Amino acid sequence: MASNTTELNIPVADPNDPYAIPAAMPSSADKEPRSFDVADFAMPTRKQEDWRYTPLERIAEFLDVFKPSGETTIEISDTKGNAVDPAHVAISQVPINQAPSGTVSKPNDRASVVEWNSGRTATVIALNGEIAEPVLITVTGGGLDLDALHLVITAAAGTHADVIVEHKGPAKLAEGVEIITGRDSHVSTTFVQEWDKGSKHVGNHRIRVGQGASLRHSVVTLGGDVVRIRMDQDFGGEQGDLNMLGIYFVDPGEHIEHRTMVVHNEPECKSRVVYKGALDGKDAHSTWVGNALIQPTAPGTDSYELNRNLVLTPGAIADSEPNLEIENGNIIGAGHASSVGRFDDEELFYLQSRGIPEAEARKLVVRGFFGELVEEIGVPFISEHLMNVIDRRLARGESDAMKAVLEDK
Amino acid sequence: MAEQHTLEIKDLYASVETKEGRKQILKGVNLTVHSGEIHAIMGPNGSGKSTLAYTLAGHPKYEVDSGQALLDGVDILKQTPDERAKEGLFLAMQYPVEVPGVSMTNFLRTAKTEIDGQAPAIRTWAKELGEAMKKLRMDPKFAGRSVNEGFSGGEKKRAEVLQLELLKPKFAIMDETDSGLDVDALRIVSEGVNRAHENTGLGIMMVTHYTRILKYIKPDIVHVFAQGHFVKTGGPELADYLEDHGYDEYLPEGADSESALA
């Protein structure tokens, strides 16, 4: 044998407690660096695991540092349109590299490091105390010139608050979001993407959930030519509770991608990831990748992730990929479920045989598919709006289908 | 006297797409049902009884080759399943479909609204629903559950009869309604069908392999269905004869005589 053998130090399991020691391998799900320096990230290719589902050619402009157009506007109020109480909701602009901006981990892929280095300022929303009325942040695109936006949402210890971030208008937006919640805070953040046709949005959320805190993080993507949002999360202390909810509705030709990366790095934390999407029409493409990493430092972890896709019409593609990496045997649970289902002809026939027309039957089934999840997002301002949008979307599908029929004739 | 309606099936041929290619199942079905009549459609397994039921209701799997089914003169075979239901046809399925996420209340109210052409008045509707469920010994919590989801076989059949009572069709096809029911459930379900019959005077086609449900729901006319069409018609005594003799004489030459009646 050659002499250049390396001595391997593989831990040996204790037969009485075989899962007590961490796995011998480092995380295989995520090999990307964490850095503020663009040079640390190679240009992505679809050969890389993180980018294999993404149509890179359609977001090429997001992968090199650019000069932001500055056309994007941000308005902040409560959901009734009133000004927020500055004693509880402090809004400020800071240079992008000034704390609290840049304090929740570091950029984790080429798109996020480009966003970091292209933007100049960050908008910081600092929450504290009991905030009864949800805070509404409206991000309006001003056109299809590439822009960058960096949002930082902080919640002081003990905060109770709901935040909604709505994205609308035409835009090409590179967005970075940092969320950091303090000890024993209970916060929800809901991000709605309802972009105009032709819009592109590449987002990166970096999230830290405080000790004993709960965060409900919801993402609702209803429009945009290409929307790709990567969300990396970890815990700032033990007994954190993370609930990530997602809803997407993909139209013909759209690519809608959500990547949730949950890291259990602290003891006795709980995470739930539930993403559901409907796809309608030719070349509608959705991607959900759910990574969950349970580190040796996180005994007592309870985690579960689920993704369901409902394909309404032929020609759509849904990619769904849960990845679990468990480096700690002393946990409560780590589960996942994933499915892609076609709109069921038998369900349709059953409803029709009771007098319900096809279009109405589809609406019932799709509303049913999303219903529970919409409830769970738990912000009435959003739930009602969502169901209306979904109905409208389905109605539009009908008229498009009718149009196709007429054109065929 | 209830309104008089007629369902007239004329020389119906229908096929199904199978792995081995297209296969004709219905071969010249003729039948006339009037309001108030209860017809038992009996026959050996694989004779095409269920195909007849699903073809009439408009299941996309079955294709009509020729023939008509006239409900008061309107050929329902040219209509979509929901149009047929609005015309007054109801199919109680052997295996009711689960529809996750759609609550029974929402479903029933939507169906009732579509069939009647207007939403039922909220208060009377809630009362009617509550009473109908009670008579079928259905737990009120079923109203809040998803359509048929997680229901036992017996609960699904009760839910079908509940719809029959609430939607008040002119004609109902009951496809193997007795299958999977124990004696108590069979009695409750049968009472529901009889109640609907008394209250609305609808015409009923009971598709069944066994005679046991006919002890609870008394047919006026009994038909034997074999090899894709009706081969014999008689009174209730025909059911007794089939009970004693089975379907052997109606099976194709060489088929094994596995047709024991319960």
Q: How many helices (H) and strands (E) does chain A have?
A: 4, 18
Q: Which two tokens stand for residue A258?
A: 């959500």
Confidence of residue A9 (pLDDT cuts 50, 70, 90): low
Confidence of residue A409 (pLDDT cuts 50, 70, 90): very low
- Residues 189-248 on B with a CB inside 8 Å of A are none
- Probe site for chain B from A306, A347, A353 (most B CB atoms < 10 A): A353
pTM listed for this prediction: 0.81
Q: Which two tokens stand for residue A178?
A: 């940092």
Average pLDDT over residues B131-146: 93
Chain B CB contacts of A346 below 8 Å: 97
Q: Chain A contact for B88, CB < 8 A?
A: no
Average pLDDT over residues A347-353: 96
Looking at residue B198, its pLDDT comes to 96
Looking at residue A392, its pLDDT comes to 80
List the domain boundaries for chain B.
6-250
Q: B81 vs A345: CB contact, 8 Å cut-off?
A: no
Whether residue A210 contacts residue A234, with contact meaning beta carbons closer than 8 Å, is answered with no
Average pLDDT over residues A56-62: 97
Average pLDDT over residues A49-72: 96
Which architecture, in CATH terms, is B6-250? 3-Layer(aba) Sandwich (3.40)
Q: Chain B contact for A387, CB < 8 A?
A: no
What does A27-87 look like in DSSP terms, one character per residue? PSS------S-GGGSPPP-TTSGGGTTS-GGGSGGGGS--------EEEEEETTSPPP-TT
Distance, CA of A226 to CA of A238 (rounded, Å): 36
* pLDDT over 70 at B145, yes or no: yes
* pLDDT over 60 at A150, yes or no: yes
Average pLDDT over residues A156-171: 97
* pLDDT over 50 at A22, yes or no: no
Bridge partners of A165, per DSSP, are: A137, A191
* pLDDT over 70 at A399, yes or no: no
Maximum C-alpha span of chain A: 80
Looking at residue A395, its pLDDT comes to 72
Q: A371 vs B101: CB contact, 8 Å cut-off?
A: yes
Cα–Cα distance list, B242 to B40, B206, B226, B249 (Å): 12, 15, 13, 10
Cα–Cα distance list, A195 to A138, A167, A189, A251, B32 (Å): 12, 6, 19, 12, 58
What does A173-234 look like in DSSP terms, one character per residue? EEEEEEEEE-TT-EEEEEEEEEEPTT-EEEEEEEEEEPTT-EEEEEEEEEE-SEEEEEEEEE
Exposed/middle/buried for residue A336 (C-beta within 10 Å: 0-12, 13-18, 19+):
middle
Bridge partners of A180, per DSSP, are: A154, A208
Looking at residue A14, its pLDDT comes to 55
Kind of pairing between the strands at A121-127 and A89-95: antiparallel
Q: A356 vs B96: CB contact, 8 Å cut-off?
A: no
* pLDDT over 70 at A53, yes or no: yes
Looking at residue A367, its pLDDT comes to 87
- Percent of chain A with pLDDT strictly greater than 70: 89
Exposed/middle/buried for residue A29 (C-beta within 10 Å: 0-12, 13-18, 19+):
middle
Whether residue A313 contacts residue A397, with contact meaning beta carbons closer than 8 Å, is answered with yes
Looking at residue B261, its pLDDT comes to 43
Chain A CB contacts of B99 below 8 Å: 347, 350-351, 364-365, 368
Q: A358 vs B82: CB contact, 8 Å cut-off?
A: yes
Distance, CA of A178 to CA of A314 (rounded, Å): 38
Looking at residue A379, its pLDDT comes to 84
Average pLDDT over residues B64-80: 97
Identify the residue whose tokens are 């902040």: A76
Average of per-residue pLDDT values in chain A? 89
Instruction: Please tell me whether the interface predicted TM-score (ipTM) of this complex is above 0.85.
Output: yes
Q: How many helices (H) and strands (E) does chain B have?
A: 7, 12
Lowest mean pLDDT among A240-244, A336-340, B86-90, B164-168: A336-340
Distance, CA of A228 to CA of B159 (rounded, Å): 44
Q: What is the pLDDT of residues B185-207, one digit of tens each?
A: 999 999 999 999 999 999 999 99
Q: What is the pLDDT of residues B202-236, one digit of tens each?
A: 999 999 988 899 999 999 999 999 999 999 999 99
Query: DSSP secondary-structure letter at A7?
Result: P
Distance, CA of B31 to CA of B261 (rounded, Å): 25
Q: A367 vs B111: CB contact, 8 Å cut-off?
A: no
Nearest-CA distance from B59 to chain A in Å? 6
* pLDDT over 80 at B40, yes or no: yes
Maximum C-alpha span of chain B: 60
Nearest-CA distance from B16 to chain A in Å? 15
Chain A residue closest to B94 (CA)?
A: A350
Chain A CB contacts of B102 below 8 Å: 351, 364-365, 367-368
Q: B59 vs A349: CB contact, 8 Å cut-off?
A: yes
* pLDDT over 60 at A10, yes or no: no
Kind of pairing between the strands at A302-311 and A333-342: parallel
Q: What is the pLDDT of residues A208-240, one digit of tens each?
A: 999 999 999 999 999 899 999 999 999 999 999
Confidence of residue A402 (pLDDT cuts 50, 70, 90): very low
Q: A352 vs B59: CB contact, 8 Å cut-off?
A: no
Average pLDDT over residues A146-161: 98
Looking at residue A23, its pLDDT comes to 41
Looking at residue A2, its pLDDT comes to 45
Cα–Cα distance list, B68 to A7, B32, B71, B84, B226 (Å): 83, 12, 10, 13, 20
3-state SS class at B241 = helix
Distance, CA of B145 to CA of A136 (rounded, Å): 34
Distance, CA of B217 to CA of B32 (rounded, Å): 19
A206: closest CA among A99, A115, A275, A105?
A: A105
Q: Chain B contact for A341, CB < 8 A?
A: no
- Percent of chain A with pLDDT strictly greater than 90: 76
CB neighbours of B170 closer than 8 A, spacing ≥ 6?
Answer: B3, B5, B7, B35, B71, B72, B87, B88, B89, B202, B203
* pLDDT over 70 at A173, yes or no: yes
The single-letter code of the amino acid at A246 is G
When CB atoms are compared, the residue of A349, A354, A364 closest to B60 is A349
- Probe site for chain A from B84, B86, B102, B170 (most A CB atoms < 10 A): B102
Looking at residue A372, its pLDDT comes to 84
Bridge partners of A127, per DSSP, are: A89, A155
